[in-house]
C-alpha cells in the first residue's frame, strides 16, 4: 500500500543535515524545544513540534499497525480531506481527491520528519513539517501536525478513529469522524 502514496519512500533527513547537532547536544531538552519551535515558527514554509521519546515509540508502533488516515481541512464553509501515510520517522500528506484520481502521480503537500537522534541522550524528538508547495497555508499545516500527533498518540482518538479506519474500514463512519474532528478543534 505504501507505493500507492509515494512512488518511492522519500529519503529521510538526519538532524545533522538540519542543525549543528554537536552544539544542540550541549543544550537542555527544554532549551532545545524552545530553540526548535521558535526557529520554525518564524519560517514561512515549516511547522514544528517536539515529542518525548516515549511518544515516538508509541507512534512508531501505531504507524506500523495503521499507516494511513484522513484529516479534514476546513476552508470557508467547505472542507476537503488530506490523506496521510506514515512509515517510521516520516508522514506524508496529500490531497485525498488528487490521490483518488491518480495515486501514483499524487504530489505531497506536507512532509513531517521525526528526528530521533536526541531520543536517548535528551529524551526528546524534534519534529519538522516541510510545506512542499503553497496548497496548504501555514495555519492549516500547524493544525495537521497537531491533529496527526493527537490522533496517533491519544489512546481514545487512535482506537476510535485511526485503528478502526485501518482495521475495519467498512464500519468506519466518515461523517461522524469529520463532525467530531471539527468539534474537537472548534472549527466552524
Cα within 13 Å of Cα(171), Cβ side:
5
Give CA separation, 91 vs 3, 71, 78, 96, in Å: 14, 13, 25, 15
pLDDT at 59 over 80: yes
Q: pLDDT grade, residue 3 (50/70/90)? A: very low
Q: What is the pLDDT of residue 124?
A: 98
The pTM of the full predicted model, rounded to 2 decimals, is 0.92
Q: Specify the pLDDT at position 4.
A: 47
Amino acid at each position: 500500500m505504501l507505493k500507492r502514496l509515494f512512488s518511492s519512500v522519500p529519503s529521510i533527513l538526519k538532524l545533522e543535515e538540519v542543525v549543528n547537532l554537536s552544539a544542540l547536544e550541549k543544550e537542555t531538552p527544554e532549551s532545545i524545544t524552545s530553540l526548535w519551535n521558535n526557529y520554525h515558527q518564524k519560517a514561512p514554509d515549516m511547522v514544528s513540534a517536539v515529542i518525548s521519546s516515549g511518544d515516538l515509540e508509541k507512534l512508531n508502533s501505531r504507524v506500523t499497525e495503521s499507516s494511513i488516515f484522513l484529516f479534514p481541512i476546513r476552508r470557508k464553509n467547505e472542507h476537503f480531506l488530506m490523506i496521510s501515510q506514515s512509515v517510521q520517522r516520516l508522514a506524508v500528506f496529500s490531497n485525498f481527491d488528487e490521490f483518488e484520481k491518480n495515486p501514483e502521480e499524487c504530489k505531497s503537500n506536507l512532509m513531517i520528519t521525526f528526528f530521533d537522534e536526541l531520543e536517548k541522550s535528551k529524551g526528546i524528538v524534534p519534529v519538522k513539517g516541510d510545506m512542499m508547495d503553497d496548497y496548504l497555508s501555514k495555519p492549516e499545516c500547524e493544525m495537521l501536525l497537531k491533529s496527526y500527533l493527537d490522533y496517533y498518540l491519544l489512546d481514545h482518538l487512535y482506537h476510535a478513529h485511526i485503528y478502526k479506519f485501518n482495521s475495519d474500514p467498512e464500519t468506519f463512519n466518515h461523517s461522524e469522524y469529520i463532525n467530531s474532528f471539527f468539534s474537537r478543534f472548534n472549527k466552524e
